[in-house]
């Protein structure tokens, strides 16, 4: 919400994708994570998700297994991702959107 407000305050009306209703394709998610300079594990959301129940803290799980989990349970995708011609960022904290 804060990130969206910051973008709108800059005079930009973004396209918002509700990832819980319309999750990205696996290839798009992997590309977005890579473009943001993150690891797949770094893009996982833990709080308020089935992260623990699914055993996703296991360091033996590879990127493919983590992406599979994110596709099955989109709530595991950390957010918000902002994609612009200047690059892709996971905007946590919100102020990252200003970079």
Report whether 30 contacts 40 (CB < 8 A). Answer: yes
Number of domains in the chain: 1
**Residue range of the domain that includes 89:** 2-98
Residue whose structure tokens are 């998610």: 29
How far is Cα 71 from Cα 92, in angstroms, rounded to an integer? 21
Phi, psi of 44 (to 5 degrees): -80, 135
Q: End-to-end distance of the chain based on CA atoms, in angstroms?
A: 17
Domain with residue 66: its CATH number is 3.40.30.10
- pTM (whole model) above 0.75: yes
Nearest to 65 by CA among 55, 79, 80: 55
Dump pLDDT digits (tens) for 11-70: 888 777 788 899 999 999 999 999 989 999 999 999 999 999 999 999 999 999 999 999
């Amino acid at each position: 919400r804060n990130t969206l407000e910051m973008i709108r305050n800059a005079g930009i009306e973004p396209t918002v994708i509700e990832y819980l209703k319309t999750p990205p394709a696996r290839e798009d998610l992997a590309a977005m994570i890579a473009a943001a300079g993150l690891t797949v594990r770094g893009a996982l959301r833990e709080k308020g998700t089935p992260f623990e129940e699914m055993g996703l803290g296991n360091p033996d799980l590879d990127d493919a297994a983590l992406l599979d989990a994110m596709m099955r349970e989109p709530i595991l995708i950390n957010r918000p991702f902002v994609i612009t011609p200047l690059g892709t960022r996971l905007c946590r904290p919100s102020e990252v959107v200003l970079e």
